[in-house]
Structure 1
């Protein structure tokens, strides 16, 4: 992920303040692009609309780095920031650490890898799409690329002899069988490639360590390498719906926003020809959604606020990507958000018209922490009752009122009001006031999960719902959803 300073213009759920006390060393925020440019390709527009209806997705950061339980890739980046600090017996020198880090390839052997288990858990939780890190910034490919030997299927990697060695293919196939939308995360920078970090020069920071305009032949080799790897993913891995590109410092010079701190550090033009990549991708995968993060223009089909929730709806399609724990990658003993917190995050994000992409970092053995499955089970129990107000919905003013959050059916005259609990159980009042669109004539009100019709009366610009004792005494968890048909 892109590691950045906090963006003070975006705010979190007031009733979830305690949720966001995680360390900024492992989960930094992400500056969003300005001036969104909508796609013009009808197939992309259609797929983007379908993606917006899904609301809840699974993100997975996984690589050889999971064996050390350290931040993904960033510890080999020569920047003096909290998340890049080297730790452990090999940290005394940069070169010694980087050599030991890259040698993790020779011990990576996740023998418990079983993507079908992940599919079952994600599906039960109500997730509808997934994005997997096919290659992070460190350059270790989790797929059978022909462009490098620094990959999971190379003979130096113990797992290469396993029938499931091509991890990306196995993951994509398992989720495709259950009709998930498939997203391929791909890092544009590659800190292992000699054509990005040229060994002639020491790397100075996250950026290319030479001037591409001074050494165009080397940069063209890197462009070809990048194009070829993405083409492999677009042609040999079944149906791919999203190309999720990270590493926004790899960008044309004319797209640099000097108002953003980390972009001021980009000294060279790092244009990898996104037009050529997108054209190729859509040739093989018609309607492919391209997410060139932070690079405003035709190849950022939706924006991706990182570890944050916009207080108001955005004017473009968007997705909050957020960690279930405190880290994107696996860390032993990580603290995971509770089912209660995840559900309320989802409600808030959907009420603002966005999607939630929840990240889980598989461990070095190839499985998730047992606590992850418990969290997803809890989310699934709630979604089985209340998902009607989540999927295929759009935002509707006033979006929220106190601890009540609103969504509206995309194609029916139905309003959903989620009353969020401050603690685990929902405490229902005797009456609940719901604002309505002007002229809306309410026909029926009920609580999802209950067949009992509720009484209401018109007050001002809305309605007042009366909640009988039988409803008030119900043991409702996290958020109660009221369905108002008009």
Structure 2
């Protein structure tokens, strides 16, 4: 790496600010899809529970926050560092110049797909284009793309196609993250006016001909992804400030700062996308309505059960994008996060960030391997389950499938399986058959508690969470 990586690697995203954008959303206005194929796909997606997200772009070369250092806002996650930080124009030129050295020669999507599958993940959402406008696919509508880098001569240079194919072969549902705003094209950040913030540099109503070019550009790139990359299950759209003005909720602080309407005609885009991909789930994040088939709280877990389809997108470490030294969450924390989310009716989309060489941190593989060991025994209480009241209570989380109740005991770090357990808020019939997922031996009840023989506890060993199966 060049000097930029040494100077810029400390620039991380602000988790609090982005999470706040999604925690304030009014989910009571959720619109249930009417298309039977979308309903079927949504039901399938709700059953798989656990997915992988990957933020990857040229920004990994410098080890900085994805895209946001280009945004001229006085916010911590937009901070610029390095030799060009004093001048935005010089910085943008240098940032876009990263493409000239981006060459992820260790790129091996089959390795990722195998690791994710072994962890129990069943769907993928990959960042085909973030706000900076760099296409991780061979778009015909821009030169700012992966195939115009030193990696362009590699047989696997069309990275999005390779990733979707590798994961699809392992049985994954596949999703394409796509940023609606594009800070590289002149039809969004029109150069006549300098950008002041994340929004377009002009009022689309005053310059309709320029906005129409941007709408066409956006439509065309999405159509490429929907036609040239095999079957796609999810179109995951980010950049919620690009939206019709009448969808802005004045009670939500960040939405109040959107200066004007930025309507890209989602009805037209969704119709086109589903003509190529029947049943496609469209996730127009934070724009409540018919094009947000499920909601996406970011870097957080709702504190209660939600009956609508939802997914928490959460980083395995601290950052969405690659940083040289990442602070990964513990395996116990990640397993507890998955169980907590599923018990409240949601899915977990866990983000891992590839580096500039095309590899993950080794710790990411280790975490997924450890999660996979736990899932081999306990996933029976995860996949295809429904939430069961009281959902979460104390150290307990509950799901159900048919007449079977799954009671997860979320242990503290290093906590052995207690010899007596009393599920909080749950009444267990006296004639119920109770077993541990790790053991098929029937357990006895006494005064509302479930007794665990010492020998059984020792055989099970220390786990992040213990699962009682109650039939």
Q: Structure 1 length as normaliser, TM-score?
A: 0.91
Residue 457 of structure 2 corresponds to 472
Greater shift in the superposed pair: 48-57 or 425-434: 425-434
Match runs of 1:412-431 below 5 Å = 412-431=402-421
How many pairs were matched up? 454
Greater shift in the superposed pair: 446-455 or 164-173: 446-455
Greater shift in the superposed pair: 442-451 or 310-319: 442-451
Match runs of 1:422-441 below 5 Å = 422-433=412-423, 435-436=425-426
Cα distance in 2 between the residues matched to 1:201 and 1:435? 60
Shift of 1:385: 0.8
Residue 483 of structure 1 corresponds to 469
Residue 46 of structure 1 corresponds to 40
The answer to whether the 8 A contact 2:313-2:350 is kept is: yes
Shift of 1:372: 0.6
Cα distance in 1 between the residues matched to 2:440 and 2:250? 56
Residue 88 of structure 1 corresponds to 82
Residue 6 of structure 1 corresponds to none
Match runs of 1:383-398 below 5 Å = 383-398=375-390
The answer to whether the 8 A contact 1:426-1:479 is kept is: no
Shift of 1:436: 4.2
Residue 256 of structure 1 corresponds to 248
Shift of 1:236: 0.4
Residue 405 of structure 1 corresponds to 397
Match runs of 1:243-392 below 5 Å = 243-392=235-384
The answer to whether the 8 A contact 2:100-2:150 is kept is: yes
Change over 3 Å in CA distance of 1:437–1:477 after alignment to 2? closer
Shift of 1:288: 0.2
The answer to whether the 8 A contact 2:49-2:348 is kept is: yes
Consecutive aligned runs of 4 or more in structure 1 exceeding 4 Å deviation: 434-438
Cα distance in 2 between the residues matched to 1:160 and 1:184? 21
Change over 3 Å in CA distance of 1:86–1:418 after alignment to 2? same
Q: Deviations over 1:7-36 (max 9, x none)?
A: xxxxxxxxxxxxxxxx87256313253211
Is 2:209 the counterpart of 1:229? no
The answer to whether the 8 A contact 1:426-1:480 is kept is: no
The answer to whether the 8 A contact 1:420-1:426 is kept is: no
Match runs of 1:197-236 below 5 Å = 197-236=189-228
Cα distance in 2 between the residues matched to 1:89 and 1:425? 49
The answer to whether the 8 A contact 1:67-1:364 is kept is: yes
Aligned to 1:291, the other structure's residue is in SS state strand
Shift of 1:404: 1.2
Shift of 1:433: 3.8
Shift of 1:421: 1.1
Is 2:435 the counterpart of 1:446? yes
Cα distance in 2 between the residues matched to 1:435 and 1:262? 38
Cα distance in 1 between the residues matched to 2:416 and 2:396? 12
The answer to whether the 8 A contact 2:232-2:280 is kept is: yes
Change over 3 Å in CA distance of 1:398–1:275 after alignment to 2? same
Greater shift in the superposed pair: 145-154 or 468-477: 468-477
Change over 3 Å in CA distance of 1:484–1:434 after alignment to 2? farther
Q: List alignment gaps of at least 5 residues for structure 1.
A: 1-22
Is 2:31 the counterpart of 1:31? no
Cα distance in 2 between the residues matched to 1:73 and 1:265? 20
Cα distance in 2 between the residues matched to 1:441 and 1:287? 45
Change over 3 Å in CA distance of 1:165–1:62 after alignment to 2? same
Cα distance in 2 between the residues matched to 1:382 and 1:336? 18
Q: List alignment gaps of at least 5 residues for structure 2.
A: 1-11
The answer to whether the 8 A contact 1:434-1:464 is kept is: no
Cα distance in 2 between the residues matched to 1:257 and 1:221? 27
Cα distance in 2 between the residues matched to 1:407 and 1:465? 18
Q: Deviations over 1:302-346 (max 9, x none)?
A: 000000001111121000000011100000101011111100100
Residue 72 of structure 1 corresponds to 66
Cα distance in 2 between the residues matched to 1:465 and 1:170? 50
Aligned to 2:147, the other structure's residue is in SS state coil
